[in-house]
Chain A
Amino acid sequence: MNMLKYWGLATAAALISSPAAAQEAPGLDEKINQAFANFTGPFVSFIFAPFPGTTFPWIVGWLVIAATVFSLYFAFVQFRFFGHAISLVKGDYSDPNDAGEVSHFQALATALSGTVGLGNIAGVAVAVGIGGPGATFWMILAGLLGMASKFTECTLGVKYRNEYEDGTVSGGPMYYMSKGFDELGLPGGKILAVLFSIFCILGALGGGNMFQANQAHQQIAGIVGDYPGWITGLVFAAVVFMVIVGGLKSIARVTEKVVPFMGVLYVATALVIIGMNADQIGWAFGQIFAGAFTGLGVAGGMVGALIQGFRRAAFSNEAGVGSAAIAHSAVRTKEPITEGFVSLLEPFIDTVVICTMTALVIIITQQLIIDPDTGKYMLTEPGGVIATVEGNTGVSLTSAAFGSAFGWFPYILAIAVILFAFSTMISWSYYGLKAWTYLFGEGHTKELVFKIIFCVFVVIGAAANLGPVIDFSDAAIFAMAVVNVFALYFLMKVVRQELASYAARLKSGEIRKFDH
């Protein structure tokens, strides 16, 4: 509850201090942008407020401490059960009588299509552009630790999901908060669930929507030339509307099939580029390690690199945020913990593999300018971002890095970004909807209201500048993590019981592979 109080205070303070309107007569894009920045500023400042006396945002510490606690509490379940998780995804332990139900693979693939996307392409470029190569090290570390957070929340997501009489399911943090806390006789579960749902809706509109629309527009504009963002926004909004309101499944189906292909193509291309520069691999890792502990001249030094790395990892793989618990809860399994094992592969694939590829390609193609005299990175201004070859940031930095090896790749990347953006929007529209229906109840009109709001935000996101959008996206998604992680601390003992019971039965041979 403290949070809301602070939020309220911060909002009041900002209303008093911030100038109300822009100086000159601005275009529509700028108007939207300015209004948006003014409106979301206080919320963003609260979420990214540093620990008193430091520059370290408390929220980043919150997530990393949580991931570390879960890793220790479950004795590094992410490494002990990594192989078992792969067996589960392969279907080795799936009952043949459950054929036709949602498989572990499908639940994982669906959750991944919600997380793999712009965070991996644009987000990493932002992190490396500010925090330098060293951010990569902290990003990988956060990814590995985050696997334990994901394991915890997804096990609970399946355990406490609602299964309705008509066979449909609803799961996610709001359900484990309310049902789990009741079961343990703890108060306040319902309040947490409501808070989480509010932030989930904001996160769905921010990172799951506006950030995606914004970056998709930047990609298209980069190819066809600059034009107003709201045009892209309208087109995207129309397509999203057709899918989530009109029930036009064919578009979603095509996207869901093309997205994994794009993901594989992306990693494969990155590997080829890294292979082409094989002699630089040692140097690149040297930069990553040196940068991780010294910063190599980036703003904020080592802490600057660490903050960027942790922040990007958390935004990209969403471990501890709770969104994956919604996506994973539809799986068919008698053992909730099996989905926990499967879900721990998600931060691994997303962060440790894909994000690292992006970072390596940017570093190895030498997009970041190094001062030849000092060996440190040159900044555009003191305390600013690292200067890049063509002044690129975000997704255009990644695009330039890949393009320096393959001239045609930026076009493929543009298509990939648009498709990733789209599939992430579809996933998040569902997460947001689940939170919405948790708050307001299910019903056609209520759902329609949310879906229309969602489409409106597509337009706003495409029209706004990257700065305010990316800040708000991160802030909203991290706000979900504040509530979610708090609940996970109370519920983690439930997961430990499940883990002990499952591990014992796996060892005794009671749980064994099926013949297929």
Chain B
Amino acid sequence: MTSKIVIGLDGTETGERAIAFAKDLAERIGTCELLIVYVIEWSPFTFQTPEENALRHKRREEEVELATSRVVAPAVDALKAAGFNAQGIVRHGDVAETLNTITVENEASQIVVGRSSADGFKKRIFGSSTQNLVMHADVPVTVVN
């Protein structure tokens, strides 16, 4: 059976190191599929103006398109070119929760992420997405510095 590794990207350079680490793992495992995941931070419980609501569907498509073309597709293409089995997923939601959900859905055996780049006030209060992921994930998580 092919084992799967989820790689969470956030568009920063730590993602590159996460990919490098996952590639190394995949080579050691042998038959391994790499899932490149980009989660667009989103909550169903925010407040929006009527106009934002009316445009939401359009914006969502644009966000998915942007994340795919800028982050996920290049990474997947590079992995495929290097001979790896890879696919990309872009989804909206809470970063930690969604990464874990995708992992469970795809029966992946572990998650590799870069160290979170979030900082400041929000991080002090709620912790970073990476911290949340490490605390709550159903599979082992590797955080690459």
A interface with B by C-beta (< 8 Å): 91, 94, 96, 99-107, 109-110, 113-114, 166-170, 249, 252-253, 256-257, 259-260, 326-327, 330-332, 426-427, 430-431
Contact = CB atoms under 8 A, between A and B. Distances in A.
A94 B44 contact: yes
A276 to B, nearest CB: 31
A430 B46 contact: no
Interface centre among B40, B52, B101 (most CB of A within 10 A): B52
Contacts of B40: 100
Contacts of A260: 47
Given A105-B45, A249-B52, A252-B49, 19 more contacts: A94-B44, A99-B98, A100-B91, A102-B48, A102-B56, A103-B44, A106-B48, A109-B47, A167-B60, A168-B57, A168-B58, A169-B54, A170-B54, A256-B49, A260-B47, A330-B50, A426-B50, A430-B51, A431-B50
Interface string B56-72: 11101101100000000
Contacts of A107: 53
A281 to B, nearest CB: 33
B49 A99 contact: no
Given A96-B101, A99-B93, A100-B92, A169 B57 contact: yes
A91 B44 contact: yes
B55 A168 contact: yes
Contact of B50 (A96, A100, A101, A327): A327
A104 B53 CA distance: 11
Contact of A167 (B44, B53, B58, B101): B58
A95 to B, nearest CB: 11
A110 B57 contact: no
Interface in B100-126: 101
| B contact face: mostly helix, strand, loop, or mixed | helix
Interface of B: 40, 42, 44-58, 60-61, 63-64, 91-93, 98, 101
A110 B48 CA distance: 6
Nearest to B45: A105
B22 to A, nearest CB: 25
A99 B48 contact: no
23 contacts: A96-B101, A99-B44, A100-B64, A101-B60, A103-B44, A105-B44, A109-B48, A113-B47, A166-B58, A167-B58, A167-B60, A167-B61, A168-B54, A168-B58, A259-B47, A326-B50, A327-B53, A332-B56, A426-B49, A427-B49, A430-B49, A430-B51, A430-B54
Contacts of B91: 99-100
Point out which of A99, A102, A106, A256 has the most chain B C-beta atoms below 10 A from its C-beta: A99
B84 to A, nearest CB: 27
B45 A103 contact: yes
B54 A106 contact: no
A257 B55 CA distance: 19
A283 to B, nearest CB: 38
Given A113-B47, A252-B49, A100 B42 contact: yes
Contact of B57 (A99, A101, A427): A101
